C-alpha cells in the first residue's frame, strides 16, 4: 500500500522527533489529504485555483434539509475530484442533537489499492443568524 498511497508532508505541517519535516503515509496520509480538500476553499491555492471544497459557503446557512443535501453533494463531488486514491461510498451529514450549530459529515470511503473500507467524521460548524452581533 505504501507505494500507491505514498508519503507526503503531514497536515498540519510540523517536525518529527528528529527535527525533520513530519511525513504522513498510509491511512493517516489519506485522511489528512481528505481534510485538506475539505478545508481548502477554491481559489486559495494560486497554482491550483479549482482545488478544494466550498464548505465556507454553508457557514451562515440554517441547518435544514436543503442545506444538508447541498452540503452532502459538495463534499462528495470535491472528494471524488481531488482524492483519486479513494472511492467515496457514502456521505451522510447529520446535525448534532446537542449543539444546534454543528453537523457531522460522515464520509464512508474505500481505499482503491487495498479495498479497505474506512470512514472519516468531519465536524462542521455553522454560525446561525440569531440577530446578535456575536
* Between 130 and 93, the higher pLDDT residue: 93
Pairing mode, strands 23-25 and 7-9: antiparallel
Q: Say which CATH class 2-125 falls into.
A: alpha beta
Helix (H) or strand (E) holding 5: helix 2-5
Whether residue 38 contacts residue 53, with contact meaning beta carbons closer than 8 Å, is answered with: yes
Region 31-37 average pLDDT: 91
Tell whether the model's pLDDT for residue 132 goes beyond 60.
Answer: no
Q: What is the predicted pLDDT for the residue at 12?
A: 63
pLDDT in tens, 11-31: 666 667 777 776 656 677 788
* Between 83 and 134, the higher pLDDT residue: 83
Tell whether the model's pLDDT for residue 6 goes beyond 80.
Answer: no
pLDDT in tens, 39-96: 999 999 999 999 999 999 999 998 999 999 999 999 999 999 999 999 999 999 999 9
The ranges assigned to domains in the chain are 2-125
**pTM passes above 0.85:** no
What span, in angstroms and rounded, lies between the C-alpha atoms of 14 and 37?
Answer: 19
Helix (H) or strand (E) holding 30: helix 26-39
Amino acid at each position: 500500500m505504501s507505494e500507491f498511497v505514498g508519503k507526503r508532508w503531514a497536515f498540519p505541517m510540523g517536525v518529527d522527533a528528529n527535527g525533520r519535516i513530519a511525513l504522513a503515509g498510509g491511512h493517516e496520509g489519506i485522511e489528512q489529504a481528505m481534510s485538506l480538500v475539505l478545508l481548502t476553499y477554491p481559489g486559495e491555492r494560486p497554482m491550483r485555483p479549482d482545488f478544494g471544497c466550498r464548505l465556507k459557503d454553508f457557514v451562515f446557512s440554517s441547518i435544514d434539509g436543503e442545506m444538508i443535501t447541498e452540503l452532502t453533494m459538495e463534499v462528495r463531488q470535491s472528494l471524488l475530484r481531488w482524492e483519486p486514491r479513494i472511492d467515496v461510498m457514502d456521505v451522510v451529514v447529520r446535525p448534532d442533537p446537542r449543539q444546534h450549530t454543528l453537523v457531522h459529515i460522515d464520509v464512508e470511503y474505500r481505499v482503491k489499492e487495498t479495498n479497505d473500507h474506512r470512514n472519516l467524521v468531519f465536524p462542521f460548524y455553522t454560525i446561525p443568524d440569531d440577530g446578535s452581533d456575536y
